[in-house]
Structure 1
């Protein structure tokens, strides 16, 4: 917003005798000077020559916010807005005006009286408000900026305000920002703002100077120091709205530098700015705009975007007012909730003018209806957004800017979550394909917690998204899949998705051969969550019965209705099973097994999880077997990463570890699937058990992460018991499972667990294994680094844990190769303290000491 100078503002510096009076004032010596002539001279000049703006109208004349984010206009010639009358006065007598400026600059000298300096800075400040030409005149005199910065230390509030105001005006010109910054203005303003009692006018001018300086990217890091940034955040709570606006403007400019985002977030800026957008601050259009701009910049980072959403704000794409013209509100329909729940009609005939529908809320009986808060918020949000769409007021404020189409596609705004959720659902029902895709992506970004996921469900987003899965636009389908994948984390939303018929379009997408890996991955995630039967059990135990009833909101309670509702809830799992059976055909299962053959470990893991949930539908077992599930498991159990050399350095070693972990997750999921399949006789008789056991034993002995070996060991034991039942340690399978899975897991539990009870249970179980004389058990304990945690447990564990640890260490000491490791772990001092304390285990400790070379 450019500065507009009133036409009555004109300088008339031709004052008879004034120059002689001023010269006399500055030349007289302190011994003969009197206060009265100096005051009259300075005051007369101030009042007549350089006082184009009265004190009372100063607020309306101050420079406003510039279009590039500064606190004042960028007064370059092409952007300045100076009336012709002012320009005429400039050309009439520039030399005389310059002489007066020189005089007042000299009056700023440190050797002058403080009152003279104060009146001179006030006059120069008001002179500089004339525009760029006047600022250029002041800048011609070297040292003027430094003298103005020095006056920021003045005890006079008027002098500080004028000095900060002059710096603000000078810094509004691009060419002079560096001069202001190099003069130490930022440091002095920081010290000034640190004062406990400071006039609002001084704070406003100082912050506006920083607002101008923060336009320059290289100055932002200097402003965003550890001392000034907390002050800027504190001023967001200031009582003076001008101060709040200036502080918000500085923060908005600082947010333009991505390198400063972490510092700003750590200082707590997000909650403060979010609060300005959630509450109605009277007359604060500027501060709300600056707060929104700052948060939008911070939200470009994924982690910071989550923090913004956690504060109750939702990023909504700006799609242009024209896109909302395709919105077609229903002119006459029986009211319903946004998620599709219908209100039961009390009579078949509607009123003449629809009053029974419009006033339905007034007739609700509190004993018969209980609308949850989430449903109420959904109704309110939908009503508000549809009203704005009907009257054409959505994004009306952005039409004046006339942004280009490419710019509009990347712009967002921030709305409180209730309005933001309703706006995004409204956009899903429009015809603009680009807007639909952007809204779906915003829904995915906003679905960060259960509250937001339930809010989108209540607002009716699930139904729109499921319908959009059949859209031919690839961008829309990818965005919709992403949104559904985020929403499917919720058990309740999963049930709604299945009720809306999400399985069939997902299966259709999965059958397509040309889909991207990202879309396939998210499709498999949604399928796995929807098909997981444990979702229903979690909902029943933690959230309450599944709402499968079709009972109307206003229906009267009766035994018949209750019986019908109970029957509906009881039949719900059966109905879902029938629906699932209809979608699980040979083509789908064949596609999933194909993924096991050819895809990355990540997709293999997800496909195995989907197949695992399919095994719960018994009619699918024969189809799974006939589709070649054994060959798919064989492909997963033979990853190339296990055969590669792990003796790598640096980045290659880290990449190898990541690939090994991904392969371990896929193998664990496939092992879990194998364990489920072994429950069926038709599968057990159709597989080559010895071949699968060979593959699993190799995986168990590999360097795959320990946490992924649990299901490998379980499936291996299960496979072994099915082929040749034997639970003794002499069985090679049980021996390998103990050495390569059980012992390492127990040692990890002893070392990493924070629970003394868990440590005690683990060491007792480990002692049982070692005491039974299992071959190579002591070597496995030593090889897995078990000596050090056992010695530590001798010092800190319970009596039973100490006794078991001493027993294991004694068995380890029978091998001379373990002596060095036992001594290095500090066993001797610990054992001696145990003996001297005469604890119940001192005899075992003494016996162990005698076996060690002490």
Structure 2
């Protein structure tokens, strides 16, 4: 994106009209001021009047080039700065006047520069800088004449600290003119102009003119990448942010322009975000003028003027959106990044002609008339047959309105005229994007999904995936009808489209409510077909498995409400769904959730799919194994599926899953030479995979057919090794439950005498209870944990005290003894007493601060003081 600067001609005050009026009037203010008695030398302008006969100093410079004899053309220089070039009139008279008078003005530039000196009267300095400012408006030639005098910039910058507002305005205006020439940008910065402008803008009260000229100077300087870091000062950024609320539209535009240029340098992004740039700029883009207000002339003019600040705000936010984290912050402010796909892509848009109206998500409005009107009114006026008591929520209404707006713009070919600039319209395939308020952005993205351009569809689906950062956005896309388009595109011929669509559905499926719409739209069939394709890449497989797992998981808790017993084709409709249909007058996908669930279950009863899932569970990465196991667990609910699962060699797949690399009891030996963070992440993924496989095995153990085909002793051995391994503790719970269930199937055992039960206690139960004592915020939960731990220790489980000490249980025990309830104190003292019987635990007990705590219990004669005294006698104190 090209950095922008501004022409000095159009934003300078006073204007040429004011200058000519001032010249004809003889500058009454200066004359009146000159008649006042002053104890200073005569003004230089008095000398000029005597020598050349001019009534005032403005005519020396500006008489030759009037506003009627020249026009200004904006042009962009080779390096991106915008300037103004004069176009001379064809009149010979004006040419002669220009030549002679310009020479007179050039002759006195040196005099005006000298008058800027600190040894001159402040009024003379003010008049001199004002004259130079007006002279600089003549173009680059005039600015070159000023800049040939070394030290001029230093004197001009010095005037920025003047107490006179007009001196500051004239000095800032002259700096603005000079900085508009790229050749002099570095010179202006080296003269200290940025620092002086920052000091000037920090004053408590400034006129709008001073603000405008000063900020416009920064706007010109910010074109240079080297100067952006210097301009991006925290105090300056705060002032620019505050200026976005200024009443003067020129000040607002200049502030937005500076921020847009500063955003071009990535090193400034953090500072800009920290001062709150994103909410301010987003508010500008979200501040729409109502269409009815634009009819008024004043409102229309305000809307046209605001386009500049809106453009600069959009440019700044688009630069910030290149960072993924800042993109999320922008979307949270109610903006959506929408790709610009070009006018050609919208030519394929064909609006659907419905004989009966429906909502964007496909929900149809219920008919109320018993038959058609004999006059044909029911066909012409569809609203006659709509129930007037129908209740449509605000989200659906917004989706309908914005969809109609975007479709209308597409039909007339004006959908991207406001959003894209000239450079973007010439090259629509360069991945340009724009920012729209969320309602328009959502409707636009859904509209693009219905086009035929594969690149446009892919970019729109990717934008939907990026926008689904919260429940509000996911629900908005559902209401706008994105789900049905995405499901239809899952079978697209283009691989890029399928990947983008799968990504969008995966992000949308995070919401349980959207999952129901995805399943109701028939996505399960398309997802199953995608999984059965053996040529599918791993990334597409992962997104497809994610979506399918979430869709199936969203219905697990509701099984009993929709089905009675085994699946036999019958279904039970919810009473509240029927009542909702009757009260709202709406029919469609949302009112028919149970039927698609039956069909989706039938799609899972596919031997090819089950074989594919078993293969993934056997050979894929831990992340994919976890998802495949979750889907297979859902399939086990269906009785006819058990035979398919058993025949697919599920036992060997589970056995392979339980032998993953990294499952070792010796943590130090396994982690040696590895990055600790990477190793911890690997263990977490392995633990999740083991957890899902153990849940699947637990469900399969309920089937006699499966139990008859497996070697129980072999799986018992595998699970015993896993429970001793170094996977995270929270994933061992399902392993322990599966191991205990597998052990009970072999026959009755005596509590704690069986090695399996002992290992579950040592490697899962005790660590879990200690973690509960350490991290739980509930006193009741901590008390229950310490009481259960005391029961295990007091029953004499082998190595239980050693397990408590090795898991770091001494410190939370001492903390509970000091701050817990009476019951917790009693249980904690009993455990600590057993631990104190081993002298190897004495240093840890003392280091945990047990001695002063025990002494306080003894001295206060609490009910547990005798146990505390016995414990103190065991310790070397």
Q: TM-score when scaled to structure 2?
A: 0.86
**Cα offsets for 1:600-656 (capped at 9, x unmatched):** 111111111111111112211111111011111111111112259646578623222
2:344 maps to 1:333: no
The equivalent of 1:82 in structure 2 is 86
2:273 maps to 1:244: no
**How far apart are the structure 2 equivalents of 1:88 and 1:3?**
27
Deviation at 1:346, TM superposition (A): 4.0
**Cα offsets for 1:405-426 (capped at 9, x unmatched):** 7664411111111111111111
Deviation at 1:46, TM superposition (A): 3.2
SS in 1 for 2:228: helix
SS in 1 for 2:534: coil
1:685 aligned residue (708, 712, 730): 708
The equivalent of 1:303 in structure 2 is 325
Q: Which moved more, 1:598-607 or 1:184-193?
A: 184-193
The equivalent of 1:107 in structure 2 is 115
**How far apart are the structure 2 equivalents of 1:54 and 1:198?**
32
Asked whether the equivalents of residues 5 and 83 of structure 1 are also in contact (C-alpha less than 8 Å), the reply is no
Deviation at 1:594, TM superposition (A): 0.7
SS in 2 for 1:49: helix
**How far apart are the structure 1 equivalents of 2:266 and 2:561?**
46
**How far apart are the structure 1 equivalents of 2:802 and 2:358?**
70
2:365 aligned residue (315, 324, 343): 343
2:512 aligned residue (478, 482, 491): 491
The equivalent of 1:48 in structure 2 is 59
| Alignment map for 1:572-651 (pairs within 5 Å) | 573=594, 576-643=597-664, 646=669
Deviation at 1:822, TM superposition (A): 1.0
**How far apart are the structure 2 equivalents of 1:338 and 1:187?**
55
1:395 aligned residue (409, 416, 438): 416
Note closer, same or farther for the CA distance 1:219–1:32 as it changes in structure 2 (3 Å cut): closer
Deviation at 1:293, TM superposition (A): 1.1
The equivalent of 2:502 in structure 1 is 481
Deviation at 1:146, TM superposition (A): 1.7
Asked whether the equivalents of residues 6 and 216 of structure 2 are also in contact (C-alpha less than 8 Å), the reply is no
- RMSD value over aligned CA atoms? 3.8
**Cα offsets for 1:364-422 (capped at 9, x unmatched):** 555x3101111111110111111111111111246771547766441111111111111
Asked whether the equivalents of residues 581 and 617 of structure 1 are also in contact (C-alpha less than 8 Å), the reply is no
SS in 1 for 2:782: helix
The equivalent of 2:168 in structure 1 is 160
Asked whether the equivalents of residues 69 and 253 of structure 1 are also in contact (C-alpha less than 8 Å), the reply is no
2:205 maps to 1:194: no
1:321 aligned residue (320, 340, 343): 343
Note closer, same or farther for the CA distance 1:519–1:201 as it changes in structure 2 (3 Å cut): same
Give the unaligned 5+ runs of structure 1. none
2:471 aligned residue (444, 450, 454): 450
Count matched residues: 822
Note closer, same or farther for the CA distance 1:553–1:810 as it changes in structure 2 (3 Å cut): closer
**How far apart are the structure 1 equivalents of 2:375 and 2:114?**
81
| Alignment map for 1:745-764 (pairs within 5 Å) | 745-764=768-787
Note closer, same or farther for the CA distance 1:827–1:429 as it changes in structure 2 (3 Å cut): same
Note closer, same or farther for the CA distance 1:148–1:233 as it changes in structure 2 (3 Å cut): same
Asked whether the equivalents of residues 436 and 476 of structure 1 are also in contact (C-alpha less than 8 Å), the reply is yes
SS in 1 for 2:338: strand
SS in 2 for 1:274: helix
Note closer, same or farther for the CA distance 1:352–1:271 as it changes in structure 2 (3 Å cut): farther
1:287 aligned residue (291, 306, 309): 309
2:524 maps to 1:503: yes
| Alignment map for 1:460-471 (pairs within 5 Å) | 460-471=481-492
**Cα offsets for 1:151-182 (capped at 9, x unmatched):** 11111111111111111122222222222222
Deviation at 1:437, TM superposition (A): 0.7
1:661 aligned residue (677, 680, 684): 684
Q: TM-score when scaled to structure 1?
A: 0.88
1:428 aligned residue (422, 446, 449): 449
Note closer, same or farther for the CA distance 1:8–1:105 as it changes in structure 2 (3 Å cut): closer
Asked whether the equivalents of residues 176 and 216 of structure 2 are also in contact (C-alpha less than 8 Å), the reply is yes
SS in 1 for 2:337: strand
The equivalent of 1:274 in structure 2 is 282
SS in 2 for 1:83: strand
The equivalent of 1:179 in structure 2 is 187
Asked whether the equivalents of residues 343 and 554 of structure 1 are also in contact (C-alpha less than 8 Å), the reply is no
SS in 2 for 1:640: coil
Note closer, same or farther for the CA distance 1:642–1:62 as it changes in structure 2 (3 Å cut): farther
Note closer, same or farther for the CA distance 1:540–1:208 as it changes in structure 2 (3 Å cut): farther
Note closer, same or farther for the CA distance 1:63–1:710 as it changes in structure 2 (3 Å cut): farther
**How far apart are the structure 2 equivalents of 1:838 and 1:768?**
25
Asked whether the equivalents of residues 324 and 430 of structure 1 are also in contact (C-alpha less than 8 Å), the reply is yes
Asked whether the equivalents of residues 581 and 620 of structure 1 are also in contact (C-alpha less than 8 Å), the reply is no
The equivalent of 2:299 in structure 1 is none
Deviation at 1:583, TM superposition (A): 3.9
**How far apart are the structure 1 equivalents of 2:375 and 2:694?**
65
**Cα offsets for 1:723-768 (capped at 9, x unmatched):** 2333601111111111111111111121222222222221121111
**How far apart are the structure 1 equivalents of 2:151 and 2:343?**
53
Note closer, same or farther for the CA distance 1:406–1:637 as it changes in structure 2 (3 Å cut): farther
Deviation at 1:536, TM superposition (A): 6.5
**How far apart are the structure 1 equivalents of 2:584 and 2:825?**
67
**Cα offsets for 1:116-152 (capped at 9, x unmatched):** 1111111111211222222222222122212221111
| Alignment map for 1:691-710 (pairs within 5 Å) | 691-710=714-733
Give the unaligned 5+ runs of structure 2. 290-301, 563-573
Q: Which moved more, 1:741-750 or 1:526-535?
A: 526-535
